[in-house]
């Protein structure tokens, strides 16, 4: 009569005989001896000095903050133009200090006369003299 261990050994014996193929063995050696080359590029890693990593992270954070900061210029459609509306970037907040404020103007000359002082370049020198 067979012992339970013998029966188990017999059952699992085919698994014991299984070995990787020659191609698999070669791949294993390649992987172990040149681990970086064996990996796909998106799983490879490089070592970076901590200060460089910190500086890069800080620069990235700053860039993202600047990019996501609410813009102080608004895009406004010009109501006086006929046909397609022209978007005009207008400076909404005027600085309190006498600094030259500039805005991009894409409108017809007539629009300036019809009362849109926001769109006109106002230099502090001009404002001070008037």
Partner 1 sequence: MPDADTYLAELKRGTPAAVERLVGEYEGPLFRYFLAIHGDAALAGDQSADAFVELVRALPKMRGGSEKLRGFVYAIAKNIERRRWRQRPTGEHTLDAVAATACPHPSPERSAEQNESLQLALKAIQSLDPTTRNIFLLRFVEQLSINEVATTLDLAVGTVKSRIHRGRQELQTLLATSEEEA
Residue 21 as a binder of partner 1 (CB under 8 A): the answer is yes
Rounded CA separation 109/41 (Å)? 58
Q: Within 10 A of 123 (CB to CB), how many other CB atoms are there? A: 13
Rounded CA separation 59/48 (Å)? 16
Of the two residues 47 and 82, which places its CB atom closer to partner 1 in the complex?
47
Residue 127 as a binder of partner 1 (CB under 8 A): the answer is no
Nearest distance in Å: CB 48, partner 1: 16
Residue 19 as a binder of partner 1 (CB under 8 A): the answer is yes
Whether the Cβ atoms of residue 103 and residue 119 lie closer than 8 Å to each other = yes
Q: Within 10 A of 90 (CB to CB), how many other CB atoms are there? A: 16
Q: How many residues bind partner 1 (CB under 8 A)?
A: 28
Question: x/- string (CB under 8 A) for partner 1, residues 104-123?
Answer: --------------------
Of the two residues 11 and 75, which places its CB atom closer to partner 1 in the complex?
11
List all residues 6 or more positions away from 119 whose beta carbon is below 8 Å from its beta carbon. Answer: 88, 90, 103, 105, 107, 111, 112
Residue 3 as a binder of partner 1 (CB under 8 A): the answer is no
**Residues at the interface with partner 1 (CB under 8 A):** 4, 7-9, 11-21, 23-25, 27-33, 35, 38-39
């Amino acid at each position: 009569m067979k012992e339970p261990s013998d029966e188990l050994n017999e059952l699992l014996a085919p698994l014991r005989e299984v070995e990787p193929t020659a191609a698999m063995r070669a791949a294993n050696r390649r992987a172990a001896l040149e681990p970086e080359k064996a990996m796909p590029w998106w799983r490879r890693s490089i070592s970076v000095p901590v200060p460089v990593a910190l500086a890069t992270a800080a620069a990235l954070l700053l860039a993202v903050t600047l990019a996501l900061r609410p813009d102080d210029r608004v895009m406004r459609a010009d109501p006086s133009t006929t046909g397609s509306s022209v978007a005009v970037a207008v400076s909404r907040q005027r600085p309190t200090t006498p600094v030259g404020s500039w805005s991009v103007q894409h409108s017809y000359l007539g629009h300036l006369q019809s009362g849109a002082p926001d769109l006109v370049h106002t230099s502090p020198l001009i404002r001070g003299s008037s």
